[in-house]
């Protein structure tokens, strides 16, 4: 019996080709657009973008004769994801709203509203799954640039059990070729950039809406001299180089003093103060097996892994050690640039094929 499938359509080319792939495989998915932008935004920037996405999604569903509906999750997004983002930023951390959107909205609020009626929930993510006995693993895409397992590594195990990724085995170029060959309406539409719902809104403007500005000093960490002033620590991330706006650069943001509201910067292209080789992680989310099955019986328990701390094609080799207090230490083989509290450290096996899960980087 064919499993009942829901497909989350975004209006972009990836989910459009995901629909084509499901149809070609003999499935008839019910398609949904998840509205996470409020309709009443003041300048209509978000609403207009959503309406364009919905029109494209509707057109695709009419073409393939499948059901389509819009599920409004904007209140859940703003209560769950925006609250998470603002509280982390206020505390001086570097959050990732898109990671939490997948857990709390696309596979969370959607499931609460109607996804529970489906055996499978399909998306246009670049990721794969593999089943081994009764275990289901999240695995990387063959396209290292587009791989999105890092955005999915906070899913709960039950969410992963329902997830399928119809284009996860493809390279981006192949997805574009299929879209062009099948004359899909959005074949040449540009990929979205940045946070999933912001559209043309700048991230700093988004933060400014909720936290305003809080000016403070910018200090050269090597000399202790004042370089300038910042408008709020939440507008800067550790490792940031571009957009600091200070003369005599280049400058890197390397440290924050939250209590004193000071941003420390370092001069030069590769300041050693911008690199870290050992850091702690906490609130580890394991996708498939408990962490105890991953770690060896050495003292302390440990495991060779690869990891990411940002969305790049690089997988960094390291050893992961159990601290014995529900936290873990990552000992990278080489110094890593821009490690910041609040970022997610995404953990993979040594050959970066299977994604084990992710955890939040802790403050020193």
In 10 A of CB 356, how many CB atoms?
25
Catalytic site includes residue 139: no
Three-state DSSP class for residue 97: helix
DSSP 77: I
Catalytic site includes residue 196: yes
Q: Which residues contact 353 (CB under 8 A, 6 or more apart)?
A: 139, 140
Q: Which residues contact 181 (CB under 8 A, 6 or more apart)?
A: none
Rounded (10°) angle between helices 13-24 and 45-64: 20
Catalytic site residue from 101, 139, 345, 355: 101
Four-residue CA torsion sign, 75, 164, 121, 356: negative
Q: Which residues contact 125 (CB under 8 A, 6 or more apart)?
A: 14, 148, 151, 152, 165, 168
Catalytic site residue from 31, 73, 139, 196: 196
- Tell which residue, 148, 142, 154, has the closest CA to residue 105: 154
Q: Is 236 exposed, middle or buried (0-12, 13-18, 19+ CB in 10 A)?
A: buried
**Is 346:127 a contact under the CB 8 Å cutoff?**
no
Q: How far apart are CA 353 and CA 350, in angstroms?
A: 8
Q: How far apart are CA 330 and CA 278, in angstroms?
A: 6
Instruction: Write the CA distances from 66 to 22, 43, 161, 239, integer angstroms.
Output: 11, 33, 24, 46
36: left (phi > 0), else alpha (psi -120 to 50), else beta? Answer: alpha
| Structure tokens that stand for 248 in this block | 């005599």
> To which H or E segment does residue 15 belong?
helix 13-24
Which residues carry out catalysis?
A: 101, 196
């Amino acid at each position: 019996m064919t499993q009942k499938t829901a497909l989350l359509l975004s209006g972009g080319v990836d989910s459009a080709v995901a629909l084509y792939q499901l149809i070609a495989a003999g499935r008839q998915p019910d398609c949904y657009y998840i509205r996470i932008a409020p309709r009443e935004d003041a300048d209509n920037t978000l609403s207009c973008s959503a309406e364009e996405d919905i029109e494209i999604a509707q057109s695709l569903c009419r073409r393939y004769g499948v059901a389509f509906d819009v599920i409004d999750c904007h209140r859940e997004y703003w209560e769950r994801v925006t609250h998470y983002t603002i509280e982390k930023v206020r505390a001086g951390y570097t959050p990732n709203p898109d990671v939490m959107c997948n857990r709390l909205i696309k596979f969370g609020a959607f499931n609460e509203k109607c996804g529970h009626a489906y055996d499978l929930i399909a998306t246009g993510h670049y990721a794969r799954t593999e089943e081994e006995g009764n275990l289901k693993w999240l695995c990387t895409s063959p396209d290292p640039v587009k791989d999105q397992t890092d955005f999915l590594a906070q899913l709960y195990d039950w969410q992963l059990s329902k997830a399928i990724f119809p284009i996860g085995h493809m390279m981006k170029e192949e997805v574009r070729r299929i879209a062009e060959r099948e004359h899909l309406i959005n074949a040449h539409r540009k990929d979205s950039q940045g946070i999933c719902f912001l559209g043309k809104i700048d991230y700093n403007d988004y933060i400014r809406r909720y936290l305003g500005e809080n000016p403070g000093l910018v200090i050269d960490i090597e000399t202790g001299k004042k370089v300038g002033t910042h408008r709020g620590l939440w507008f800067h991330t550790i490792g940031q180089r571009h957009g600091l706006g200070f003369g005599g650069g280049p400058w890197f943001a390397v440290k924050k003093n939250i209590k004193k509201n000071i941003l420390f910067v370092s001069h030069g292209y590769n300041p050693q103060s911008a690199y870290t080789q050992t850091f702690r992680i906490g609130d580890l989310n394991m996708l498939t097996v408990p962490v105890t099955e991953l770690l060896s019986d050495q003292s302390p328990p440990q495991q060779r892994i690869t990891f990411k701390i940002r969305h790049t094609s690089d997988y960094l080799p390291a050893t992961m050690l159990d601290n014995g207090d529900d936290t873990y230490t990552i000992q990278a083989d080489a110094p890593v640039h821009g490690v910041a509290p609040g970022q997610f450290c995404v953990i993979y096996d040594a050959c970066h094929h299977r994604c084990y899960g992710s955890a939040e980087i802790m403050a020193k």
